């Protein structure tokens, strides 16, 4: 029987192992941690949003980089296929808002356990606490791997599923990029994605912990609209985070420092309607303070911050607010400017943008075009998506295809299994 080694026991590695083992290969899954799927445990806030029910076109729309590279992988195992597979393996699923799919138990650990059990049931040999240091290469092909403690393990094919650089505490520290470079493959520059944003302005820090619901966040560069979405935003000690900001971070260009962002705190009201509303509130308040009028529109602390930005005293009597002051306030409420100082780091990023250059990988197999028997799957590749279950689906789909293709390679090129 021919040997297939999979490096990394995360979502991609586990799915690759399962597909390969079911095709009859002898599979060794090497994981540097003391347990498999450490990152899966923390996905979806511990509930694991494992895929999304979006229709194909909408699904692709959530993958900003290299979506077409994924056609074959999704053709083999798409979101529906993944849901069927998990259900067949005994994991009940449920769908929530926005097509997000979770285990019915709300426990991410059940996803890992299901995959682990299926792998072991199919004969996958798991080696924990085993970090792969480098590849054994010979004559234009891969011949095995070398572990951190110097042990050589021969293999007819190797699948690198080591993840990216995000949340390094889960084991993803960029080893896969080094393995790719050792084999002569290109790696595109990486950066954190789906991550909070440091702002030049300090006022969000003073309001840290405040969640703003139904606000609109916009970013434009010249005439090009980079982002324009409505949703939830979180003010933090460093700037801004929350669903709107995570998605924005995936779409900002690399040179995003200094990028202006516009925050509309009342997107449902146009300026005229908001002005009339403010006028009514002020008239009703009479001698009371301007801050009380703001209280009727937004959380108290945010109202105070906006008044400060507008250069208005919160103790100003409501009846003394001039038309100009009102207009200025309306302008601020409809468009607070925030400036990007930078993105937060990999420690806080949900995914890594960039990675193994897909131009060097055959999209129909996930195999290296230059090195025979070498395959890549999951976040290590230069493919990343927005939030909603798309990143795990990419890991599952590319893992499945790499697993299946690697087995075909070893049985075809090495004369049977």
Binding site for ligand FAD (CB under 6 A): 7-13, 30-33, 38-39, 42-44, 48-49, 131-132, 161-163, 166-167, 170-172, 175, 350-351, 378-379, 389-392, 395
Nearer to ligand FAD, 173 or 259 (CB): 173
Nearer to ligand FAD, 147 or 259 (CB): 147
Question: In sequence order, what are the residues at sequence separation of 6 or more whose Cβ sits closer than 8 angstroms to the Cβ of residue 307?
Answer: 290, 291, 294, 313, 314, 329
Minimum CB separation of residue 122 from ligand FAD in Å reads 18
Nearer to ligand FAD, 172 or 190 (CB): 172
227: its two tokens: 């982002």
The helix or strand, by DSSP H or E, that contains position 404, with its residue range, turns out to be helix 390-413
Q: How far apart are CA 414 and CA 408, in angstroms?
A: 10
Minimum CB separation of residue 91 from ligand FAD in Å reads 15
Minimum CB separation of residue 329 from ligand FAD in Å reads 38
Nearer to ligand FAD, 132 or 274 (CB): 132
Give me the helix-helix angle, 390-413 and 11-22, nearest 10°: 40
42: its two tokens: 């923390």
Q: How far apart are CA 303 and CA 324, in angstroms?
A: 18
Q: How far apart are CA 160 and CA 7, in angstroms?
A: 5
Residue 98 has what DSSP assignment? Answer: G
CA angle, residues 73, 79, 83, in degrees to nearest 5: 125
Minimum CB separation of residue 143 from ligand FAD in Å reads 17
Nearer to ligand FAD, 86 or 167 (CB): 167
Nearer to ligand FAD, 101 or 291 (CB): 101
280: its two tokens: 């009514």
Strand partners of residue 263: 217, 336
Place of tokens 């494992």: 50
């Amino acid at each position: 029987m021919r040997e297939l080694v999979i490096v990394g026991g995360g979502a991609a590695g586990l799915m690759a192992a399962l597909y390969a083992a079911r095709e009859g290969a002898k599979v060794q899954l090497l994981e540097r941690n003391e347990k498999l799927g450490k990152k899966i445990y923390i996905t979806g806030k511990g509930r694991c949003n494992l895929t999304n029910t979006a229709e194909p076109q909408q699904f692709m729309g959530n993958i900003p980089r290299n979506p077409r590279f994924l056609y074959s992988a999704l053709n083999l195992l798409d979101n529906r296929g993944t849901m069927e597979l998990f259900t067949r393996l005994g994991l009940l699923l449920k769908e929530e808002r926005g097509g997000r799919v979770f285990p019915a138990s709300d426990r991410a650990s059940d996803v890992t356990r299901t995959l682990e059990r299926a792998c072991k049931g199919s004969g996958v040999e798991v080696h924990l606490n085993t970090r792969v240091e480098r590849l054994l290469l010979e004559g234009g092909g891969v011949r095995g791997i070398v572990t951190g403690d110097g042990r050589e393990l021969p293999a007819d094919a190797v699948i690198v599923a080591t993840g990216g650089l995000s949340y390094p505490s889960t084991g993803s520290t960029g080893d896969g990029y080094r393995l790719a470079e050792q084999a002569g493959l290109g790696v595109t520059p990486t950066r954190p994605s789906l991550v909070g944003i440091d702002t030049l302005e300090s006022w969000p820090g003073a309001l840290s912990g405040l969640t703003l619901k139904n606000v609109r966040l916009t970013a434009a560069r010249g005439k090009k609209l980079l982002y324009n979405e409505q949703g939830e935003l979180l003010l933090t000690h460093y700037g801004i985070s929350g669903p709107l900001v995570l998605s924005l971070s995936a779409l900002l260009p690399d040179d995003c420092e200094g990028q202006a962002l516009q925050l509309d705190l009342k997107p449902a009201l146009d300026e005229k309607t908001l002005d009339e509303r403010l006028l009514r509130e002020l008239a009703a308040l009479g001698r009371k303070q301007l801050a009380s009028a703001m209280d009727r529109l937004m959380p108290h602390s945010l109202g105070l911050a906006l008044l400060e930005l507008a250069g208005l005293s919160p103790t100003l009597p409501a009846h003394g607010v001039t038309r100009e002051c009102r207009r200025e306030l309306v302008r601020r409420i409809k468009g607070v400017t925030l400036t990007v100082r930078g993105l937060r780091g990999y420690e806080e990023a949900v995914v890594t943008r960039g990675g193994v250059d897909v131009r060097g990988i055959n999209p129909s197999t996930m195999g290296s075009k230059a090195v025979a028997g070498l395959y890549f799957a999951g976040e290590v590749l230069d493919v990343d998506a927005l939030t909603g279950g798309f990143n795990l689906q990419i890991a599952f789909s590319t893992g499945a295809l790499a697993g299946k293709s690697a087995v075909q390679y070893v049985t075809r090129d090495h004369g049977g299994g």
